[in-house]
Amino acid sequence: MTIALSSTRGFDLPFVAPASRGLSLPVLSLSQGRLQQWALEAAAVEPTDRLLNLGFGGAGAVRRILRLTSAQVTAFDSSPAARELTRTLNRAALRSGRLRLAEGTVEMLPFRSRSFDVVTAFEVVQGWPSLATGLREARRVLGKGGRLVIANERTLATGTALAETGQGPLLPDTDALIALCQRIGFRRVSAERHERKGWLRLVAVG
């Protein structure tokens, strides 16, 4: 079960970034696997969709994505350790050319504009040095009508300041995130919360 959320508020998003300037290697857990599956259900991936995954997601997200499309999948991260784990767990896809790995910073994605039909980001957005810049780059590499899908286990309650939580990096509250995506130029933005888990998934259409 999910609860639909929406916003028409348009304001600058205050975001306090952690010290790291890249994407990080998450610890793959059962809950993260379920979160990824739930998020991918909203991505509406077609068999020919070109897909970019930002943050390797403990390599589990990449394996799930490869099952959804016959087109080439690109996995991007700043972490050499994440790259090697993904390489180890997806050797067959790499050898066949179905999967390519790329390393760099989300602030300057090394891909041509309109290169992908779907961009996914699971449990990584809160670690981006600049949330707005990362979202702009995601929109740039999406083709017309392409979808950005963001999913996180934890987000701030509406109106809560980051400094008040004491919980480490969190995704900003949903209204603020929707408003930022709208300001950047995504044509349609929707978000849902998992009724039992409280997870957030957001879909922004370029």
Domain that holds residue 151: 25-158+165-205
Whether 8 maps to a domain, the answer reads no
Sheet containing 116-122: give its strands across.
2-5, 188-194, 200-205, 142-152, 116-122, 51-54, 73-77, 99-103
| CATH number of the domain to which 169 belongs | 3.40.50.150
Count of domains observed in the chain: 1
Residue the block writes with tokens 């259900």: 41
pLDDT at position 51, please?
A: 97
Whether 55 maps to a domain, the answer reads yes
Whether 188 maps to a domain, the answer reads yes
Whether 122 maps to a domain, the answer reads yes
Whether 4 maps to a domain, the answer reads no
Whether 38 maps to a domain, the answer reads yes
Whether 12 maps to a domain, the answer reads no
At 128, list the tokens: 């981006």
CB-CB contact of 73 with 62 (8 Å) = yes
pLDDT tens digit sequence for 41-83:
999 999 999 999 998 665 688 999 999 999 999 999 888 888 8
Whether 3 maps to a domain, the answer reads no
pLDDT tens digit sequence for 79-129:
888 888 888 889 999 999 999 999 889 999 999 999 999 999 998 888 888
Whether this model's pTM surpasses 0.75: yes
